[in-house]
Structure 1
Amino acid sequence: MIERKKEMSRDRVSRLVSWGHWFAFFNGFLAMIIGVRYIETIGAPDSWIGWGYLIISTLGHFSFLAFIVYLVVLFPITLILPYSKILRGLAAVAATISLCILLYDTIIYDDYGLHLSPFVFDIAWADLNALLQGTSYIVTPLGLIILELTAANYLWKRIESIRKSNYGYKVVIFIGCCFVSSHLIHIWADAADIQEITRLDDAYPLSYPATARSFMESHGIEKSQTNTAEHHIQSSLNYPIAPLQCQTSHHPNMLVIAIDGFRADLLDQNTMPFLHQYAQQNHYFNQHLSGGNVHRSGMFSLLYSLQGSYINANDLNYRSPVLTQQLKQQGYALAHFAPQMALSHPLAIYQDFESHLQDTDSGIAAADIKAIETFTQWQLQQNAAWFALINLQSPDSYDTPIGFLGIETVKPQHELKPAQKVLFNQYRQSLNFIDKQLAKLLSEIPDDTLVIITGVSGKVFTSNNDEPRSNLSPANVKVPLIINWSGNQYAKTVDYPTSHNGIVPTLMTQMLNCNNKASDYSSGESLLQPSSASWTYVGDDQVFGIYQEDEITVIDRHGKYRIYNKDYTQQLRKKISAPELIEVMREGRRFYHH
């Protein structure tokens, strides 16, 4: 009798376990349907390779997630309380909650470009009303719980016939093959840099596809070339959002001088006497921030006028800035003058320019001199209006030409280490060299030329080349901005905050007579009035800072953040400001949404 009861108990548990597997498979199928929303966000593949991988990975991933939920939640209860009515009710509730979480994740991913995590949930909670609109957040869970209860009862009543059909092991083998195959395909795609596949890496929650590096390292093989770039959402970028409406008969020459490593606090009478006086005589923005802390992100914000989170947008590998597109369309001759190293940029940022790159074998300072000389000769040969970009890089490498006498050393205003003091004064010598070059250059251009002088980034005094990449202090991002409006002296000092993202809207509206809203093609607003935003984004898509009036928040790609005071000298113990971060996230998705 006892043996009979044990046998019946084992049979009941066996039936419940079998039922649980089929119920998990059913919910994996529902999760796949919900998962279509992720594809709508990132954009469907363009090739059969992409579609093949997407189908296989979707089948494997969501089935695996459903099985994990079953294994963690339902399987232990099956052993403790092997009663079908209780288990069916609990399973329906657990499945409904899981699918609602998945649905909520699709909403957050579409709006922020991030999956749920404690950090993201904390931010999204403050934005709950905007995310959950209408009554769907009430109707959907009710509909799901009814569907789950119906499915649970249906499967339980037919579990015996399903078990006899022997389809179970075939389904397990098929799903297992999809799961393993998706990882093997991804290893190949990562090694061969097949972006049609690797761009889907972050599409699904809790997705960690195997990479060539992890696979090879686990087998003791070193990958000769590893692609360290992160793969982000690569849906089609609508840039500009609306066609540009620009028409002007006035075509002044325009000269943009962008200086790498140009700190705002050293534009003084002793270090740069010419430019200091020039700034007082023209439109000088003394609270200006670059959009980046290194050359790549600084130039990106200067010419594209987009938030740095777009820096790896796939479309920008072949789409030039709207500013240069419009200049070219209006008949401008465009040219770029810089040291050879300045062209190492993955985007189509210089696509519309005629490039004049100078050899750096004799040093960066010598290349800067040659770039200015080449520009002077070039502009004398132009018969039509021109737009020139001169990128000078001496200050960023503390370089001066051989025989340059320079200026006397001074004591730094801020406390510096001994090695930093040496770099500080060498840096001043480089700025003084640039000052003399600018004095000569600006005396030789036509009077009706619009001149913009600014920094690509600021400068921190270190010999470690990696430090500036993670340093988002004002020293590394606050740069001068001086504008001479077509030879007309306009002495005005602007004290409100501005950034590189406002330069393109200013030129588009003031010089090219574009009627579009700045938001159609830019993350910024015109420099001629205070920005309506209470924050400024600085950095790229890996590490970025949010500059506000009294604090600076630095966030890495994992969601870890640190908050500093406005001088970057003290770390504050406080929570991140949710409203501003929500605005940053939305701006980072805005050009994908239309």
Structure 2
Amino acid sequence: MVSSGNNYKDKVSQLISWGHWFSFFNIIAAMLLGTRYIAHSEWPASLLGQLYLLTSWVGHFGFLVFGFYILILFPASFIIPSQRLMRLFAVLVATIGLTALLLDTHAYESLELHLSPLVWDLLLSGERTELNARWQYLFITVPVIFLLQLVLSEWLWRKLRKLTRKHVGVPIATVFGICFISSHLMYIWADANLYRPITAQRSNFPLSYPMTAKTFMEKHGLLDREEYTERLNAQGIEASEQLRYPLEKMAFDDPGTGKNLLVVMIDGLRSDMVEADTMPYLSAFASQNLNFENHYSSSNENTAGIFGLFYGLPSSYINSARSSNTKPLVVSTLEKRGYQFGLFGSDDLLQDPIYTEAIFSGLPLEAMAGIAQDTEVVESWANWLEARDSDKPWFSYIELNSVQNFEEGGDYTPRFEPSLGSNNISGQDTNLILKNSYRNAAYFIDEQLIQIFDQLVQQDALDDTIVIITANHGTEFNETGSNSWGANSNYSQYQLKVPLVIHWPGSVSSVSDRLTSHLDIAPTLMEALLNTTTPASAYSSGSSLFTGSSKRRWILAGNERDIVMIQPTSTTVIDQYGNYLVYDQDYKRLDAAKPKLSTLMQAMHEMKRFHQAH
């Protein structure tokens, strides 16, 4: 037994020695809990990746626990005079630490997130869900952990002299130190060389911040930043998780209706432009057909919005689709049914990999080469329509970008003044000038739509053609007061809300104000055009516009970084780390608002449901 008559120096020395051994056994406990992260994470494909996993597992948890010892218990050894009180304090700290780690492992297994403000809010929300109940059961283990820590504390104190004489402290510390340093050196190399079996493990463990040294390497000529960026963009595709799409084999009642399909994508057109003054033709056409006035794109980015429309999947699956060259079910089914394809747009369409590597992979996009103006796009489409094989149904995609590029102007007479290019715009409000130029571009597109429908009528094809007119995202003119212009800067309705007008032969004209999404278009076509009997949940995150619920609670939007839940009265934005912000309909922060646990769980599950299981 350790003598109680030691002086202050001896007491501190004993407590420090005891603290080292107490930390060591807690490192082992933390490592054992840490195996839950390994079991739930993707297993490295290479031997080097597996070696990094082993060294980072040992080094990270060794550093994490010992770091808490240095920051908390080591200083306390000098402050708390009583060894019993000090050991009780250490037991409390260790109990709290292991409980937090246990909760974190459960959060990682359930949400693939580490503890964050969002996770804590969900834990303490009081909402009655199965997940919340399971989380609260974990707190039952707290007394068990506390008792085990008390037993460990007492046993180590009794065996302290015997353990000290073994002289194994230095070798143990050396092993942990080597593992910690080597794991960071391996990550520095992997990060510079974009070696995914290692870089994919970056966020496996809590409070993990692997070291990088790109700036240092670039400064000393060891890294070419431009070449690195190119490889990084390419790896974003190669390193993506495998897509499981559809989730089950597709079944069909019959070969479908055989109707033609025309999708007109107007880049950057926001929904409030469909009104009699700005787009009189489209406004009139909408009143005579199916007009979805509360419709949202699946993203505020160009390609992500188009991806959502064709696949019916959130933007988190873009790289997976590109990596596997997986076409949308709508496109691949039309191809199998013998549809003729006519795909028209500007040169950007040829250069954008979302088309060449995913949506229209393997289909003839060369017809669009050299086309720059929307008038030429429409003319080329009209020529194709005349020359096509009239005995076969067809699918055509027309992308018009005058609205997106409104600041560049065009060969059209301005309808709204003042606008960019006006002779006298001094003293005018910049916002008004930009918005009028934008409206001029929208009016010009409206005239192009007249040409498209005139051609359909001339070819006697309108009654046999489903026409979908929409946009990939909207355009903001700082309506939110956050210095946001254009798109891809926030998730307000100005950047996400887009028109959706559908001409469906045989349908009765109607105006719908229910919440709809780009993710609904693919299920609509699969069910109502191609007559699939497979439920939409097997291949999409949306539901048919014709059969979906009129009381929808939320729809999904976002990009590869953010999950966005759009609800009738609010918008919730959640980043990849689990931090969240809630906004009202005008995109003003609601500081006290919190997402509902059950709703959030559904949304997060949907962002990963179509990825292959690890």
TM-score range, shorter chain: 0.7 to 0.9
Counterpart of 1:295 (choices 302, 321, 325) is: 302
State the partner residue of 1:439. 450
Aligned pairs for 1:75-90 within 5 A: 75-81=74-80, 85-90=84-89
CA distance in 2, matches of 1:435, 1:521: 34
Residue aligning to 2:464: 448
Selected match of 2:254 from 248, 255, 279: 248
Deviations 1:165-188 (A, max 9, x none): 332212222211221222222222
> How many corresponding residue pairs?
583
- Residues 1:334 and 1:363: Cα distance change in structure 2 (over 3 Å): closer
Output the CA distance in 2 between the equivalents of 1:191 and 1:367: 45
Deviation by residue 1:393-412 (Cα, 9 ceiling, x = unmatched): 2210017886433645489x
8 Å CA contact 1:198, 1:231 repeated in 2: no
Q: What TM-score do you get using the length of structure 1 for normalisation? A: 0.85
Which is worse superposed, 51-60 or 466-475?
A: 466-475
Q: How far apart are 1:72 and its partner, in Å?
A: 2.8
**Greater shift in the superposed pair: 299-308 or 311-320:** 311-320
What do the CA deviations read for 1:236-267 (whole angstroms, capped 9, x no partner)? 55433333333422233222221111121111
Any unmatched runs of 5+ in structure 2?
420-426
Question: Structure 1, residues 113-149: CA drift from partner, whole Å, max 9, x if none?
Answer: 3221234312332257532445852553344344434
What is the aligned counterpart of 1:372 among 350, 367, 381?
A: 381
Task: Select the residue among 240, 245, 250 that pairs with 1:239.
Answer: 245
* Cα drift, residue 50 of structure 1: 2.1
Are 2:445 and 1:426 equivalent residues in the alignment?
A: no
1:498 matched to which residue of 2?
516
Equivalents in 2 of 1:83, 1:402: separation in Å?
Answer: 82
CA distance in 2, matches of 1:449, 1:64: 65
Structural mapping, 1:5-16, within 5 Å: 9-16=8-15
The 8 Å contact of residues 258 and 391 in structure 1, kept in 2 or not, is answered as: yes
> Is 1:131 the counterpart of 2:131 in the alignment?
yes
Listed one character per residue, the Cα deviations across residues 379-420 of structure 1 (whole Å, up to 9, x for unaligned) are x14764443332222210017886433645489xxxx97223
Aligned partner of 1:31 in structure 2 is: 30
Matches of 1:148 and 1:7 in 2, distance apart?
25
Distance 1:60 1:493 in 2: 61
Summarize deviations over 1:48-103 as a string: whole Å, max 9, x none.
23212222211111111111222233223333346555444443443232222112
1:235: Cα distance to partner? 5.6
Instruction: Work out whether 1:182 is the aligned partner of 2:193.
Output: no
Aligned to 1:201: 202
Residue matched to 2:475: 459
Distance across 2 between alignment mates of 1:330 and 1:572: 50
- How far off its partner does 1:467 sit? 5.2
Alignment of 1:151-190 (within 5 A): 151-190=152-191
1:364-390, Cα deviation, whole Å (9 max, x unpaired):
436634663575367x14764443332
Amino acid aligned to 1:48: L
Q: Deviations over 1:472-523 (max 9, x none)?
A: 22222211111222x3353111121211111111112222222333222222
Deviation for aligned residue 1:292: 1.2
Secondary structure of the 2:412 match is coil
Q: 2:164 and 2:193 mapped to 1: Cα distance?
A: 43
- Contact kept in structure 1, 2:345 and 2:374, CA below 8 Å: no
CA distance in 2, matches of 1:167, 1:298: 60
- Partners of 1:307 and 1:322 lie apart in 2 by 15
Conserved? CA contact 1:545–1:555, under 8 Å: yes
How far, CA to CA, are the matches of 1:138 and 1:572 in structure 2? 31
Q: CA deviation at 1:37?
A: 2.4
CA distance in 2 between partners of 1:497 and 1:547 (Å): 9
SS of residue in 2 equivalent to 1:65? helix
Please, which moves more after superposition, 553-562 or 391-400?
A: 553-562
The equivalent position to 1:481 in structure 2, one of 472, 475, 500, is: 500
Among 377, 387, 395, the residue aligned to 2:403: 395
Aligned match of 2:62: 63
Shift of 1:469: 1.4
- Cα-Cα RMSD: 3.7
Shift of 1:290: 0.9
* Alpha-carbon distance in structure 1 between the residues aligned to 2:178 and 2:474: 52
CA distance in 1, matches of 2:154, 2:236: 43
Write the letter of the residue equivalent to 2:138.
Answer: Y
Matches of 1:95 and 1:5 in 2, distance apart? 25
Aligned amino acid, residue 246 of structure 2: P
For residue 141 of structure 1, what is the aligned residue in structure 2?
142
* 1:275 alignment partner AA: L
- Measured in 1, the distance between the counterparts of 2:249 and 2:204 equals 30
Q: Which amino acid aligns with 1:496?
A: R
Q: Deviations for 1:337-389, whole angstroms, at most 9, x for unmatched residues?
A: 322223424684325451425778774436634663575367x1476444333
Question: Shift of the alpha carbon at 1:268?
Answer: 2.2
CA–CA distance in structure 1, aligned partners of residues 101 and 74 of structure 2 = 21
- What is the Cα deviation at residue 564 of structure 1? 4.2
The 3-state SS of whatever aligns with 2:565 is strand
1:50 is aligned to 49
Give yes or no for contact 1:13–1:79 (8 Å, CA) kept in 2: yes
- Please say if 1:266 is aligned against 2:273: yes
SS at 1:453's partner residue?
A: strand
2: distance between equivalents of 1:363 and 1:399? Answer: 15
What CA distance in whole angstroms lies between the structure 2 residues aligned with 1:151 and 1:100?
16
Question: How far has the Cα of 1:192 moved from its partner?
Answer: 1.8
**Percent of aligned positions that are identical:** 33
Structure 2 vs 1, CA of residues 7 and 401 (structure 1 numbering), >3 Å: closer, same or farther?
Answer: closer
Deviates more, 1:230-239 or 1:396-405: 230-239
List aligned pairs for 1:284-323, cutoff 5 A.
284-311=291-318, 318-323=325-330
CA distance in 2, matches of 1:417, 1:544: 38
TM-score of the superposition, structure 2-length normalised? 0.83
Going from structure 1 to structure 2, the CA distance change for 1:16 and 1:564 (only over 3 Å counts) comes to closer
Structure 2 counterpart of 1:191: 192
Larger mean Cα displacement after TM superposition, 364-373 or 219-228: 219-228
**Letter in structure 2 aligned against 1:444:** Q
Is 1:537 aligned to 2:559, yes or no? no
Taking structure 1 as reference, are residues 157 and 322 closer, same or farther at Cα in structure 2, changes over 3 Å only? Answer: farther
Q: Which amino acid aligns with 1:440?
A: Q
Provide the C-alpha distance between the structure 1 equivalents of 2:322 and 2:146, rounded to a whole number of angstroms: 42
Deviation at 1:208, TM superposition (A): 1.0
Is the partner of 2:488 in helix, strand or coil?
helix
Match of 1:550 in 2: 569
Aligned match of 1:350 in 346, 354, 359? 359
- The 1:7/1:147 distance shift into structure 2, 3 A limit, reads closer
The 1:317/1:275 distance shift into structure 2, 3 A limit, reads: same
State the SS of the aligned residue for 1:396. Answer: coil
Q: Which whole-Å CA distance do the structure 2 matches of 1:585 and 1:340 have between them? A: 36
Distance 1:22 1:319 in 2: 55
Corresponding residue number in structure 2 for 1:97 = 96
